[in-house]
Structures are given as C-alpha cells and as structure tokens.
Amino acid sequence: MPGLSIPGIGFAPTTPREWLSYLQSKLVRDRPTFRFYSDYYDGNHQRLAFAQARHINEFGHVFEKWRDNFCGLIIDSVNERMSIDGFRMTDEPDADKDARDIWQRNFMDAEANAGHLDAMVQGSAYAVVWAGEDGRPTITMESAEHLVVQYKPGSRRQLDAAAKFFSDDWGREWATLWLPDRIYTWQAGTFGWAEGAVSSEKNPLGEVPVVPLNNRSRLTSNPFSDLASVIPLQDATNKVVSDALLASEFAAWPQKYVTGLEVMEDAAGNPVEPFKVAVDKLLQAEDPQAKFGQFDAADLGNYVKLTDMLVQHMASTSRIPFHYFLNGGVVPSGESITAAEAGLIAKTRERMLHFGESWERVMRLCFKVLADKRAEAWGAEVIWRDPENRTEAQHMDALLKLKMIGVPMDQLLSDAGYTPQQIARFKQMREDEAKAEMELARKYPRPLQPQHDAAALDAKKAATKPPQGNSGNTARKLNPVKA
C-alpha cells in the first residue's frame, strides 16, 4: 500500500487541506495509467508500436484511422455474464426485498454493469454510499480517473480518506473529501485549494462511505487491469496486420520485367518507362532478343499464420474461448462448447467473488444509513445470475434431475434464471390458481358416480364371494364340523 507521507514533506496528512493535496497528487500520478487502459478498450490504442521511425513517417497517415482491436472483446466477454439479481442479508432463504428496493431505486442494474466494466479495464472503480434528501440511501458509481482512496497503514480494507475531483459544465473545479468524522467540499480558487472549504458537515456513518471495486487485487500490489498482459500481444497483432496491408498494396501485384530492350531516356537523361501495364494491355517488342516475365507475388499467407499465432496467445492469456475470435474452423456446440468456455466461466466466477465482497459492503452501508440492524449482516451474500450459457433442453433436464434429489422449487427457479421478483410472483400465482380451483370445486361440485356401474358390481361380488381353495381349507380347520 502507498505510504501516508506526502512526497517532499515526510509526514502524514493531518488537516483536511493536507489530505486533499496528498490525494490529488496520487490521482495525478495514476490517471495517465487509467486513461492508457481506457484507450485500448475503446480502440484508441497506439498504432505501429513496433515500426521504425522511417516507416511511421512514410505510412503513419495510412493507418491514422485504422483499428484492429480485441481488447473490447476480452473485457465484454466477461462483463456481459455478470448480473446481480438480488441480495440475501439474513438467514432467510428468500432474497431481501428492502435491499432489492434500494438497488432498483439507484438504477444499479445498469450502474453496477458500468462499475464492473471500469474495474476490469482500469483495475478499480468506486461506489459512494450516502443519504439522499429524503433520508434514503443513495449509491453512485465513480471512475478511478476522478476518485482516489487512501487505506489505513497496514490494512487493505479500511480507509483513512477518499477524495473526488471533477469539473462542472462551466469549467469550475470541485473536490469532495471524505474523512471518517467529516465531509468537506472545495471549489478551486485562484491559488488552487489554498482557500477554505465551501462546506463541511459531520459524517454520521463514522467511516469513509466509499467502497472500492478492485479487480482481482493481489496481497502485495495494487489492483490491475485485465488488459495488462494483453496489450503487448495486441500491439504485435496490429504490427503484423499493418504489414500485411502494406504488402497487399505494394507487393501483392506480380511485378513484370523485360530483357533485351534498349533503355529509352528523356531529354534530361532519365529512364522512361517503356510500357503502361494494365489488365487490358499486351506487351510486345520487335526485337527478337526481348524476353518478358514476371516475379512471384508476395505470399500474404505468412502474415495470416503469424496473426493466428498471436491471437492464440491472446486467447490463452485472457482465457477467452478461441472461437470468440472467429478464427475459422467449426464453432463448437453441445458438450464441446461447455468445455471450450470452462476457462471463461471460471474467470467470470472469480470476478464475481471479488466484486461480490464489495457489493455486500455497499449494501451494509446502505442499511447503516437507515440505522437498520442489517448493517451488521456479515453473512450477507450476492445473488448472481448464472454466467453459463446452456441450451434450454440441457438446462431443464438438469433441473428436473435436481428436483428428483430433493432440491426445493424456489432454488430450481433461481437456477433456471428467474429473478427473486419473478419467483415471488410465481408463489402468488400458484396460490391464486389454488384458490380458483377450490372456488370452482365449491361452486360446481362433481356428481356422485352411479352405484350400479358394472365394474363396481363385479368388484363387490368378488369381495363377497365365499373363500375357495386353500382359504376354504383354512376356514374349515378353524371351524370343524362335528359328526
């Protein structure tokens, strides 16, 4: 973790202004790295990264708007499989309705998706929890390009401070500083943040209300982007493909040659091209010693093979199925596609594990705003939607087998992909159907079956027939006839 001392000063920040200056220095230091990864995700990455200066000067303008970007695919393949359906805050099997209301009121279905996206691209994103004007919890997502945090010495979870720096539509610069005891708001003046805070209020939560969404952070280093190991391969792919495009322009056309002809020159002594080669033109010469021929065109297949190799390395490094890159061949199906996507599913579940811890903390803070006992719900868990894509027939067959071993209906419906709200509606619908059937039974009772039915009479006769065979012998032994 970064130290608390300000560079060049050597002591920990104590006043709000010192905290603000220190956190701004951290943000200024890290912001270029965040934008670097964002550019690669957006496709605004470095072009001709491995080309020589002469090559860039000659052909840089040709590739000014050219892009061949796999970074977006690598991030989106995971992000599109992560969706939160609800929360369980207590030991109750049903999803917590209050938590879901808080989630929906803050538009978190979309905001959480954006938070996951930024966290995987830049390494971190942030959720800020506070009380709105009506006293209800509010959740806002913030980018790592605008918000920065400082952990307590020796801790990877507890925060000492956090600050957000942003500009409004009129170009004015603002900053919000969160400390465990107070919240400060600044507007930059002529001399930066030297002037006093615009406003200050007590922090009723007693902790910094900012929750980092860290992308698979390690124990001894900062969170890192999923693109960190992919970017060198992306640059190499761009280099090879750009070379192939240049070869297709200048070397793919078979070059012609002629020998035995006198070289013609213009008035200045410069050689004059004897022929204008085209598809609809023929080459001819009167000199019988003249010979015509052509060189072989450049083989672009070598570029294709090298690109395929780089894409294979990229798929292996990012754990994205190879068929996602549409590199030819047969797209797997059935059991084969399940095996092909096993690495992607495992990667997605790992991201769910890390992000889930942050979302549980966010929800506990929301209940702390409400002074609810669920603020201490350390057994809370996130209800994630199943990230695995399966055919409907396979999925239903698996659920029916689970039912046979005793899995409850609500759990089966959750595994089938239904949200907690839909499952709750199913319960009400089943209850309404049962009430309707009972009402119909009372209103239209079924008539009694006639007693003279032939089958019923035959059964009655068989039941009243005297015992025969061994049964009759047994009865005679029990009641012997006296002579």
DSSP per-residue letters across 292-303: EEEPPPP-THHH
Q: What pLDDT is recorded for position 8? A: 47
What's the mean pLDDT when you consider all of the chain?
81
Percent of the chain with pLDDT over 90: 36
Give the separation between CA 451 and CA 313, rounded to whole angstroms: 81
How much is the pLDDT for 242?
80
Residue 270: CB atoms within 10 A of its CB come to: 8
* pLDDT in the model for residue 441: 82
DSSP state letter for 152:
P
CA–CA distance from 413 to each of 64, 96, 406 (Å)? 52, 17, 14
Smallest CA-to-CA distance from 360 within 89, 5, 28 is with: 89
CA atoms within 13 A on the CB side of 81: 21
Contact 40, 318 (CB under 8 A): no
Tell me if 320 sits within 8 A of 344, measured CB to CB.
yes
Report whether pLDDT(456) > 70.
no
CA dist 171 → 21, 142, 166, 197 (Å): 20, 19, 9, 18
- Side-by-side strand order, sheet with 199-202: 147-151, 159-167, 173-178, 182-187, 199-202
Tell me the H-state helices in 319-391.
335-340, 342-369
pTM of the model: 0.74
- Which residues is 461 bridged to in the sheet? none
Question: Model confidence over 326-376: pLDDT tens digits?
Answer: 765 567 776 778 788 889 999 999 999 999 999 999 999 999 999 999 999
Write out pLDDT tens, residues 276-327. 766 667 777 777 777 777 767 677 888 888 988 999 899 999 999 888 887 6
∠327-329-330 over CA atoms, to 5°? 125
Task: Give the least confident one: 18-32, 158-172, 194-208.
Answer: 194-208
Q: Strands of 203-245 (E only): list them.
A: 210-214
Contact 78, 344 (CB under 8 A): yes
Q: Which tokens go with 67?
A: 């892009």
